[in-house]
C-alpha cells in the first residue's frame, strides 16, 4: 500500500509498505478520508504534538473508511462497515485510567502519533476505537469526528450557560466548530475574530452574530457596538502567544479563557497577574478527546453540526 511516512522535520516520504497485519481484536480499515490536524503540522515542523512521535511513522489520526478485514475475535463489526476512529486507545489499568483521567494514560496508543496511522491506504486499529457512521454521513464528515470530539472536550470546560456572551478568536476549521458548539451550548451572542474575509463570511453563515477583522478594526469598540460589553467566555483557536494574550485582555469579570490553540512547546505568554486577579479570570486548556467521540459523531450524524461548509475556505 502507498504510505506517507514521517522521517523527521520536513521529511515525509511516499513509500510502498505492506498492508498492516490484523490482530485478533483489530479491524483493518481502508482509509477513505483523513484530515490534516494542527498536531500533524507541529510534528512536521519538528515540534512535539499531543504525544511523542518516533519516526519512521505514518501520521494521520482524523480518519474514516470501510472495514476491509476483521480479526478472529472481533464481534462488533464486519467487512464493509463504514466507520470512523477514535485514535487514542487507553490501557484502562494505569493510575490515570483508574482515576478517570484516561487521556493521561501512561500506556496510550495513538494511531497516527505513537503508532502508524491513516496517511496510508490501510490502517489497523483495535475494534474498541471504531464507531459506525450514520447512513447519511459522508467519509469526509466522518473524518471530522475526532476534531469535533476534541472541541467538545474543550467546550465542556468553557462553562457556557444559556445567555452567555462568547468570543472565538480564529476562524479556521476549529474556530468555526467552536462557534457552532457555543450556539448549541446556549450562547446568546457570539463574536468571531478573524482577519480573512472568506472565513468571516462562513462564520456568519454558521451563526456568528458579530464578525470582526482584528487587523483593521478596534476589537473592544466593535464588541461594545454590538452590546458585548462583558464576555463570559473567550475561546482562543489560533495557538499564538499574541492571540492568547488578547483573549485574556478581552475577557470580562469571572470569565473563562479557553486556550485551545496549540502553540509550539517552547513558546510563552506574558500574563499580568493583576489582570487575572482583578477580573477573577479562569485560564483553561484542553487536551485531546476523552470520551467525546460518540457525542461528536451523533452531532454530525444528526445534522446539528456543519463540518463541510468551511472545508474549502481554510
Question: Is 70 marked active-site?
Answer: no
CB under 8 Å to 276, separation ≥6 — which residues?
248, 283
Return the sign of the alpha-carbon dihedral for residues 292, 45, 29, 114: negative
Question: Is 103 marked active-site?
Answer: no
Cα gap 130→63, rounded to integer Å: 11
Cα gap 181→162, rounded to integer Å: 12
Selecting among 10, 25, 39, 107, the annotated active-site residue is: 39
Cα gap 297→186, rounded to integer Å: 20
Q: Are residues 95 and 144 in contact, defined by beta-carbon separation less than 8 angstroms?
A: no
Q: Are residues 34 and 2 in contact, defined by beta-carbon separation less than 8 angstroms?
A: no
Grid cell 466507520 in the structure block, residue? 83
Cα gap 290→122, rounded to integer Å: 25
CB under 8 Å to 213, separation ≥6 — which residues?
194, 195, 197, 200
In terms of Cα–Cα distance, which of 176, 211, 230, 37 is closest to 118?
37
Selecting among 10, 42, 109, 275, the annotated active-site residue is: 42
CB under 8 Å to 36, separation ≥6 — which residues?
60, 62
Catalogue the active-site residues. 39, 42
Amino acid at each position: 500500500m502507498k504510505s506517507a511516512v514521517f522521517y523527521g522535520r520536513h521529511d515525509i516520504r511516499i513509500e510502498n509498505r505492506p498492508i498492516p497485519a490484523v490482530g485478533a481484536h483489530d479491524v483493518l480499515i481502508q482509509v477513505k478520508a483523513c484530515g490534516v490536524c494542527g498536531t500533524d503540522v507541529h510534528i512536521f515542523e519538528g515540534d512535539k504534538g499531543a504525544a511523542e512521535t518516533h519516526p519512521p511513522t505514518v501520521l494521520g489520526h482524523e480518519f474514516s473508511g470501510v472495514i476491509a478485514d476483521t480479526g478472529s475475535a472481533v464481534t462488533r463489526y464486519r467487512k464493509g462497515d463504514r466507520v470512523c476512529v477514535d485514535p487514542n486507545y487507553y490501557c484502562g489499568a494505569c493510575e490515570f485510567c483508574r482515576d478517570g483521567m484516561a487521556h493521561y494514560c501512561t500506556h496510550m496508543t495513538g494511531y497516527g502519533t505513537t503508532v502508524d496511522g491513516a496517511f496510508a491506504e490501510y490502517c489497523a486499529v483495535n475494534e474498541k476505537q471504531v464507531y459506525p457512521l450514520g447512513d447519511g454521513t459522508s467519509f469526509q464528515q466522518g473524518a471530522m469526528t475526532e476534531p469535533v470530539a476534541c472541541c467538545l472536550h474543550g467546550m465542556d470546560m468553557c462553562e457556557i450557560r444559556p445567555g452567555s456572551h462568547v468570543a472565538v478568536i480564529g476562524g479556521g476549521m476549529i474556530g468555526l466548530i467552536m462557534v457552532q458548539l457555543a450556539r448549541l451550548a446556549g450562547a446568546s451572542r457570539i463574536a468571531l475574530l478573524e482577519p480573512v474575509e472568506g472565513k468571516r463570511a462562513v462564520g456568519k453563515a454558521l451563526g456568528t452574530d458579530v464578525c470582526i477583522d482584528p487587523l483593521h478594526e478596534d476589537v473592544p469598540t466593535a464588541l461594545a457596538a454590538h452590546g458585548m460589553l462583558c464576555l463570559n467566555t473567550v475561546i482562543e483557536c489560533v495557538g499564538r502567544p499574541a492571540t492568547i494574550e488578547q483573549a485574556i485582555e478581552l475577557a470580562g469579570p469571572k470569565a473563562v479563557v479557553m486556550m485551545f490553540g496549540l502553540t509550539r512547546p517552547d513558546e510563552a505568554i506574558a500574563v499580568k497577574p493583576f489582570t487575572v486577579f482583578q477580573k477573577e479570570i479562569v485560564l483553561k486548556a484542553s487536551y485531546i478527546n476523552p470520551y467525546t467521540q460518540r457525542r461528536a459523531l451523533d452531532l454530525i450524524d444528526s445534522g446539528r453540526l456543519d463540518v463541510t461548509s468551511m472545508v474549502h475556505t481554510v
